[in-house]
Amino acid sequence: MVDNPSGGTGHKGFSRRKFIAGTGSLLGVAALAGRTTTAQAAAVPAAAPIASGDHVPVLVIGTGYGGSVAALRLAQAGIDVHMIEMGMAWDTPGSDGKIFCSTLNPDQRSYWLRTKTKQPLNYFLGFPIDRNISRYTGILDAEDFAGITVYQGRGVGGGSLVNGGMAVTPKRENFSFVLPTVNPDEMYDTYYPRANAGLGVGVIDSAWFESASAYQYSRVGRKHAGRSGFPWGFVPNVYDWDYMEQEQAGTVTRSALAGEILYGNNYGKKSLQKTYIAQAKATGRVTISPLHRVASVAPAAGGGYTVSIDQLNTNGDTTNVKTVLADRVFFAAGSVGTSKLLVKLKATGVLPNLNDEIGKGWGDNGNVMCGRANHLWDPTGSLQSTIPCSGIDNWTAGGAFSEVAPLPVGIETFASFYLSITKNPNRAQFSWNAATGKVDLNWQTAWKQPGINMAKTIFDKINAKEGTIYRTDLFGVYKIWGDHLTYHPLGGAVLDKATDNYGRLVGYPGLYVIDGSLIPGNTSVNPFVTITALAERNIEKIIATDL
Ligand code: FAE
Q: Is the CB of 85 under 6 A from ligand 1?
A: yes
Let me know if 143 is a catalytic residue.
Answer: no
What share of the chain in percent tops pLDDT 90? 89
Domains of the chain, by residue range, sit at 16-45+56-546
What share of the chain in percent tops pLDDT 70? 92
Based on its alpha-carbon atoms, the radius of gyration of the chain, rounded to whole angstroms, reads 22
Query: Atom 4 of ligand 1 has which residue's CA nearest to it?
Result: 64
417: Cβ contacts below 8 Å, ≥ 6 apart: 121, 217, 369, 370, 371, 372, 404, 405, 406, 407, 474
Q: Is the CB of 363 under 6 A from ligand 1?
A: no
Q: Please determine, for residue 21, whether its predicted confidence score (pLDDT) is greater than 70.
A: no
Q: Could you read off the pLDDT of 26-60 as tens digits, one per residue?
A: 343 333 323 333 333 444 445 789 999 999 999 99
Atom of ligand 1 nearest to the CA of 529: 26
Catalytic residue among 82, 247, 488, 540: 488
Q: Could you read off the pLDDT of 461-519 as tens digits, one per residue?
A: 999 999 999 999 999 989 999 999 999 999 999 999 999 999 999 999 999 999 999 99
**The dihedral sign for the CA sequence 119, 124, 127, 131:** negative
Atom of ligand 1 nearest to the CA of 156: 9
How many Å apart are CA 309 and CA 342, to the nearest integer?
15
Let me know if 484 is a catalytic residue.
Answer: no
How many angstroms separate the alpha carbon of residue 101 from the centre of ligand 1? 19
Q: Helix 192-199 vs helix 65-76: angle between axes, to the nearest 10 degrees?
A: 100
Q: Kindly indicate the confidence band of residue 127, based on its pLDDT and cuts at 50, 70 and 90.
A: confident
pLDDT computed for residue 74 by the predictor = 98
Catalytic residue among 85, 245, 260, 403: 403
pLDDT computed for residue 71 by the predictor = 98
How many angstroms separate the alpha carbon of residue 332 from the centre of ligand 1? 9
Report the alpha-carbon angle 182-184-185, nearest 5. 125
Element holding 325 (H helix, E strand) = strand 318-331
pLDDT computed for residue 124 by the predictor = 84
Q: Is the CB of 485 under 6 A from ligand 1?
A: no
Query: Atom 48 of ligand 1 has which residue's CA nearest to it?
Result: 159
**3-state SS record for 59-117:** EEECCCHHHHHHHHHHHHCCCCEEEECCCCCCCCCCCCCCCCCCCCCCCCCCEECCCEC
Nearest in space to 386 (alpha carbons), one of 208, 209, 262, 220: 262
How many angstroms separate the alpha carbon of residue 433 from the centre of ligand 1? 24
Atom of ligand 1 nearest to the CA of 155: 9
Q: Is the CB of 401 under 6 A from ligand 1?
A: no
Q: Could you read off the pLDDT of 269-314 as tens digits, one per residue?
A: 999 999 999 999 999 999 999 999 999 999 999 999 999 999 999 9
CATH of 16-45+56-546, one of 3.50.50.60, 2.60.260.20, 3.40.50.300, 1.20.1070.10: 3.50.50.60
How many angstroms separate the alpha carbon of residue 127 from the centre of ligand 1? 30
Bridge partner residues of 112 (DSSP): 137
Q: Please determine, for residue 69, whether its predicted confidence score (pLDDT) is greater than 50.
A: yes
Q: Could you read off the pLDDT of 178-203 as tens digits, one per residue?
A: 999 999 999 999 999 999 999 999 99
How many angstroms separate the alpha carbon of residue 157 from the centre of ligand 1? 8
